[in-house]
Amino acid sequence: MQRTALCLLLIAAGLVVATAPASAEPEVERTVDCVYPGEVLATALGDLATQLGYTFEPGELAETYELEQQIWVLARGVTARRAAELISASGGVRVSLDDANRLLTVSEEPEKPEAGKVRAFKVDALCRQYLDYQKRYGLRGGPAQPDVLYQPTAAEELRDAAAEILQLGDEAPGSAVGKRLIYTRGASDLARLEELFRLMESAGESQALRQDRENREGLKKMHTEFSDDQILLSAVLWRLFKECEAPIYIDHSLMQSLDFEYDTTELRFSADTSHYDVLLALAREQEFAVDSMHGALRLHQAYFSGSASYQVFDVSGLLIDLEKQYAELKTDAESLEGFQGDLRSEGGVQVIVDALCIQLENAGCAPLVRAFGSRVVVSGGVDVIDRAAEVMTAMGWENGLAKDGERK
Amino acid sequence: MRTLAGLTLIAVLALTIQAQDKSAPTRVDLAAYGVSGHEAAADLAESLGARLVLHELDEQSLPASCWAVRKKATPPAATALLGQALGCQSLYDPQSATLHLYRPGAVLGGSKVKGYDVSVLAGRFVEYVNSYGIARQPVKPGEEAEPERTAAEHLAGVLEEMLWDPRGAEFDASVVGDRLLYTTDESSHSRIREALDLLMAEHGGESAALKDERAAVEKLKEAKFSGELTGTPVASVLTEICAAAGLGVVLGPEFAEFACEEHIDFKPEAGSAWEALHSLLVRMREQDIRVDFTVRGDALVLESEDAGVGSGYRVYDISDLLKKLEASYQRQRTAPGKVEGYEGDLRRAGGNQVVLRSLDEQLEAAHAPGNSDCMVFGNRLIVRGGNSAVNAATQILKEMGWEEPGK
């Protein structure tokens, strides 16, 4: 009896699901293809509007130079929002979608950050970690360091570190209140701050860096021979873009320093050179950086603005090891060539930061490196971060990250 | 069936030969007889089937006269010799079939970071300082104390001097605890490794560059030279002498300018190629042209003395000598409070500086040919210079009481 009732119930449930109105289904976000490598911005926007069934309204930028500029974006099957972000980033404009009125509009890049919400972050654990570091390795202040006037609390130091690492700019700074940091910023900045504070505790790679790793995989599989003596830069880029599985774009910061009509490359590649190697070699030659932003590979020269691609290294183990090493380097006499110091007098974590900066500079890259207690953050794309990890390993640091980039 | 297999084999062989033709040659001739630096570089690139790429250099910044002669050299050796002749860094990348030229001091493509554990050497230095290190003078009021350096930092400084190459790569060490970090190309890493190994070795030893130089000098001594050259450029005379010993010759850019222009009559007495070379160098010295030489890849590299082309060195273990000196200073102690008395010891006399100072003074007095530099790291003494300078240094050290290991 019970079984029959259960069967009837299941059949009824099935009928309900089958006859439910279509509108109750979760709406799948519509995707578009942005195939705009070397395309005029106005044409690209017109095409995007057509794909969406929207009307393109150039507004105040109508018949201006901005709309006649080239953009380099190639992203297939991306959401309309993502497409607008990529075109905006390459064109140096702000593309907006008005779904209610089915309008695609374009305006100049806003100078001020988006209006935000207030949010507080409790940073007790990070403050504790910083204090532990200071007690053991921190440089002595007070009379020994009379020039050091700014002596921030752990929370203030964390606020300053976050502002540097995420390049938050001078607008809307954070406030340190006890062991809380309070920010009034846009949703994306708040998400970046949340991620940074989380990674400062656990160490590991940011989401943008993991995305960057994933984006580059496809390029490593592709091989092509560019054998002419003088190859147009735009021809190489076109090939790289065309065959790139991941979305890719050239940021506006780089668009302005390349001449796609005349610039050539001195590089020549054999058949076994992967597209990834080609891209890195081009980056070295043309002096641009590669990372991932808006989910896409970004070729850029925006070294001092908002990349979210970084790795937090936990160097507490290395500091313990170094403390021991400096103790062993002590001499027992007041000798002219002797050493009476320790890791603290040598600068604590600054020993690691200095070595990292010098060796990365010798390798031709100068990323942002910032320490907070026993955490060292290196900002940049996968190639830079991997080099930084090599330098850290050469110092004796041991990688404790799992494959997903989080701390084991 | 057999016919088919035979035909297939022939086809495969033909394809293999064709493929080999396309690949880079295993040996090339370097033959730049006074041509411009750019022409010499372009010629080598053509021989290698490679493209020439200049980094932060242009045609005008390369020397106007280039002299580099070496037959059947391997591509890396020919590339290195061309760099010597042009006074810049050179790198041949067979993968992309490209010959790169970089300005001196530039970081070459493909540089890698390596961390060297120097804990053993640092430990030995600490032992040395504790035994013989000079006492620190108290800081006078108003003066700042000299910053302290760890043993590893002292070592980094010594390595910089040992491996300094005015026309090579510039590599800054980072000292982290008892590790030294360098980001540089593979050949520079090999030189760092060699230096550390020799500093670690029980009795020190000679660098490969110095051994090469000794071997080349032996070849020159064994070869007969009896040419009579009239109105011949100095560069050609040198090429003849070296050719007699089966050696190539490369002139550095500063010396090449003179050697290509200056024509001389050269009729040395019949003897060895070494004697002929020596007599030519003495003759030039009389004209105030001071030339130093080194050896790279079976070729003599000659350049004006000021350019510092020599990269060979010898590491001496002076720990026994220091013990002897300590004992001898002890023996010279007198009762305290005497006007002519002595109450010091080796530490007060300067530790290893006693040996270093005397060596410098005696080398200068001996007028050893070529550049030489002496430096110390704890109980290791390093003499950087050519074959003659190192021989002279060894002799002076013996006179001080140092004993050749194993003798």
DSSP B168-211: SB----EEETTEEEEEE-HHHHHHHHHHHHHHHSTTEEE-HHHH
Residue A136 has pLDDT above 60, yes or no: yes
Chain B residues within an 8 Å CB radius of A337: 129, 133-134, 149, 154
What is the spatial distance between Cα B152 and Cα B156, in angstroms, rounded to a whole number? Answer: 6
Res A15: pLDDT:
44
Q: Which of A52-66, A223-237, A294-308, A322-336 is predicted least confidently?
A: A223-237
CA-nearest residue of chain A to B347? A335
> CB distance A273–B96 less than 8 Å?
yes
Of B123, B134, B174, the CB nearest to A355: B174
CA-nearest residue of chain B to A362? B183
CA-nearest residue of chain B to A266? B53
> Which residues, at least 6 apart from B153, have a Cβ–Cβ distance to it below 8 Å?
B175
Res A407: pLDDT:
45
CA-nearest residue of chain A to B154? A337
> CB distance A395–B176 less than 8 Å?
yes
Note whether B362 contacts A: Cβ–Cβ < 8 A: no
> CB distance B107–A364 less than 8 Å?
yes
Of B53, B134, B174, the CB nearest to A335: B134
CB A328 within 8 A of CB B178: yes
Å between B284 CA and nearest CA of chain A = 41
What is the spatial distance between Cα A99 and Cα A325, in angstroms, rounded to a whole number? Answer: 63
CB B63 within 8 A of CB B104: no
List, for chain B, all residue ranges whose pLDDT scores fall below the cut of 70. 1-23, 368-370, 407
Which letter does DSSP use for residue B23 in this model?
S
What is the spatial distance between Cα B309 and Cα B299, in angstroms, rounded to a whole number? Answer: 13
Res A87: pLDDT:
96
CA-nearest residue of chain A to B152? A329
Of A268, A273, A341, the CB nearest to B51: A268
Of A269, A339, A363, the CB nearest to B113: A363
Chain B residues within an 8 Å CB radius of A335: 129-130, 133-136
Q: What is the CA radius of gyration of chain B?
A: 26
Taken in order of first residue, the domains within chain A and their CATH numbers are 31-108 (3.55.50.30), 117-208 (no CATH), 215-300 (3.55.50.30), 310-395 (no CATH)
> CB distance B97–A270 less than 8 Å?
yes
* A34 backbone φψ class: left, alpha, beta (φ>0; ψ -120 to 50): beta
- Strand arrangement, sheet containing A310-314: A204-205, A310-314, A375-379, A369-372
Note whether B135 contacts A: Cβ–Cβ < 8 A: yes
> CB distance B176–A229 less than 8 Å?
no
- Nearest CA among B27, B32, B40 for reference residue B73: B27
> Which residues, at least 6 apart from A109, have a Cβ–Cβ distance to it below 8 Å?
A88, A92, A93, A94
CA atoms lying within 13 Å on the CB side of residue A333? 17
Note whether B114 contacts A: Cβ–Cβ < 8 A: yes
CA-nearest residue of chain B to A228? B51
Res A408: pLDDT:
42
In tens, the pLDDT along A377-387 reads 999 999 999 99
Res B237: pLDDT:
95
Å between B299 CA and nearest CA of chain A = 31
Residue A353 has pLDDT above 90, yes or no: yes
Chain A residues within an 8 Å CB radius of B94: none
In tens, the pLDDT along A215-254 reads 998 888 888 766 665 688 898 898 889 888 899 999 999 9
> CB distance B178–A325 less than 8 Å?
yes
> CB distance B112–A273 less than 8 Å?
no
The residue-averaged pLDDT of A79-89 equals: 94
Tell the residue number behind the tokens 């302290």, with chain if given. B148
> CB distance A328–B122 less than 8 Å?
yes
Of the pLDDT bands very low, low, confident and very high (cuts 50, 70, 90), residue A357 is: very high
Res A304: pLDDT:
64
Note whether B223 contacts A: Cβ–Cβ < 8 A: no
Of the pLDDT bands very low, low, confident and very high (cuts 50, 70, 90), residue A149 is: low
DSSP 3-state assignment of A206? coil
Res A124: pLDDT:
95
Note whether B122 contacts A: Cβ–Cβ < 8 A: yes
> Which residues, at least 6 apart from A259, have a Cβ–Cβ distance to it below 8 Å?
none
CB B38 within 8 A of CB B85: no
Q: Which of A205-214, A396-405, B55-64, B315-324 is predicted least confidently?
A: A396-405
Res B25: pLDDT:
82
Q: Which of A49-63, A392-406, B351-365, B392-406 is predicted least confidently?
A: A392-406
Q: Which of A131-145, A152-166, A326-340, B197-211 is predicted least confidently?
A: A131-145
> CB distance A322–B177 less than 8 Å?
yes
Res A334: pLDDT:
76
Of the pLDDT bands very low, low, confident and very high (cuts 50, 70, 90), residue A272 is: confident
Which letter does DSSP use for residue B69 in this model?
E
Mean pLDDT of chain A: 85
Report helix angle B273-286 to B234-244, nearest 10. Answer: 160
Alpha helices in B301-342 (DSSP H): 319-331
Residue of B174, B188, B352, B377 best to disrupt the A interface, most CBs of A under 10 A: B174
The amino acid at B102: Y
Of A331, A352, A387, the CB nearest to B126: A331
- Nearest CA among A365, A369, A381 for reference residue A164: A369
* A151 backbone φψ class: left, alpha, beta (φ>0; ψ -120 to 50): beta
What is the DSSP track for A367-389? --EEEETTEEEEES-HHHHHHHH
Residue A295 has pLDDT above 80, yes or no: yes
CA-nearest residue of chain B to A323? B177
Res A24: pLDDT:
43
Of the pLDDT bands very low, low, confident and very high (cuts 50, 70, 90), residue A329 is: very high
Alpha helices in B23-74 (DSSP H): 37-48
Chain B residues within an 8 Å CB radius of A355: 174-176, 181
**Kindly report the CA angle at B49 between B46 and B50, in degrees rounded to 5?**
85
Res B254: pLDDT:
93
Res A20: pLDDT:
43
Residue A129 has pLDDT above 60, yes or no: yes
CA-nearest residue of chain A to B150? A339
Report how far Cα B257 is from the mean position of its chain's Cα atoms. 22
Instruction: Annotate A166-200 with b (16+ C-beta within 10 A) or e (fewer).
Output: bbbeeeeebebeebebebbbeeebbebbebbbebb
What is the spatial distance between Cα A19 and Cα B390, in angstroms, rounded to a whole number? Answer: 97
**Whether ipTM exceeds 0.85:** no
Residue of A335, A361, A391 best to disrupt the B interface, most CBs of B under 10 A: A335
Q: What percent of chain A has pLDDT over 70?
A: 84
Chain A residues within an 8 Å CB radius of B375: none
Backbone angles phi, psi at B71, to 5 degrees: -90, 145
Of B148, B175, B178, the CB nearest to A341: B148
> CB distance A358–B174 less than 8 Å?
yes
What is the spatial distance between Cα B157 and Cα B164, in angstroms, rounded to a whole number? Answer: 11
Of A322, A335, A362, the CB nearest to B176: A322
Backbone angles phi, psi at A123, to 5 degrees: -120, 35
Res A230: pLDDT:
65
Res B2: pLDDT:
53
Res A400: pLDDT:
62
Note whether B229 contacts A: Cβ–Cβ < 8 A: no
Note whether B174 contacts A: Cβ–Cβ < 8 A: yes
